[in-house]
Amino acid sequence: MPIIKQQAPQISGEDKRQRPRDFDGLTAALNSGDEVIRRWAVRDLAEFPAAGGALAARLKREPNAAVRNAILTALTRLGDKEAVDGLVECLRSEDVALRNAAMEAMKELPAEVAPIMDTLLSDNDPDVRIFAVSILESLRHPRVEVWLKAVIEHDPHVNVCATAADLLSELASEISRTALERLPLRFPEEPYIAFVTDLALKRLNEDRSR
């Protein structure tokens, strides 16, 4: 029969470890010219709690998409301060794919991202504030609406407020009502703000009448 039975998965020759798989050896392997070696170094480093800094540093200059993916997954698994700081730095990158990947990773880390959310939402760069609001879109945290409400109450930039109001139109409760009613007064010349707050308030009224 041409179906042959394999006895058990064997470590093939190419998988045999060439170097010690300790922390120093693995962080050194992050700089290998071979992307397969770098990728496996990343995956193994995810088992070391102290690896966040080295992985985050590599992420900024890693050109290979598969290695980059592995680093993002590893940082999400680690989820410590160094990992989160590394992801936050990516929000300032000009590389759109990296930025989006960092946002996706941060959405998976509610407990770790929550303590820095106020800082992100008051960043000097309005783009970073918009990215922070985008992270809130899927962040599993009970303060999401409180953060969004604060944005539409205080953020001076119309695009940041529009992004937050857009999200509030999906999930606002009564605690956001007053802030939503006031938002168009802050940006009277912006038709999108009027549209999105109308939508959010309409949904709130529907909820109230049920």
Per CB under 8 A, residues contacting other proteins are 1-12, 15, 39-40, 43-44, 46-47, 65-66, 69-70, 72-73, 76-77, 97, 107-108, 110-111, 140-142, 144, 171, 207, 210
Min CB(190)–other proteins separation in Å: 28
**What does the alpha-carbon distance between residue 147 and residue 168 come to, in Å, rounded to a whole number?**
10
CB of 205 to other proteins, least distance (A): 14
Q: Closer to other proteins at the Cβ: 56 or 72?
A: 72
CB of 46 to other proteins, least distance (A): 7
d(CA 165, CA 156): 14
CA distance 179 to 160: 15
User: At closest approach, how far in Å is the CB of 112 from other proteins?
Assistant: 11
Instruction: Look up residue 143 and give its DSSP letter.
Output: T
Q: Is the Cβ of residue 32 or residue 73 nearer to other proteins in the bound state?
A: 73
Task: Record the tokens describing residue 48, joined without a space.
Answer: 């070391």
In angstroms, the CA 118 to CA 210 distance is 34
Residue appearing with tokens 């496996």: 40
Least spacing, CB of residue 8 vs other proteins, in Å: 6
Q: Is 75 left (phi over 0), alpha (psi -120 to 50) or beta?
A: alpha
Dist CA 61 CA 50 (whole Å): 20
Max Cα distance, the chain (Å)? 78
To the nearest 10°, report the CA torsion of 68, 80, 152, 187.
-40
Give dist(CA 180, CA 52) in Å, integer. 40
Q: How far is the CB of 179 from other proteins (least distance, A)?
A: 18
Contact 173, 149 (CB under 8 A): no
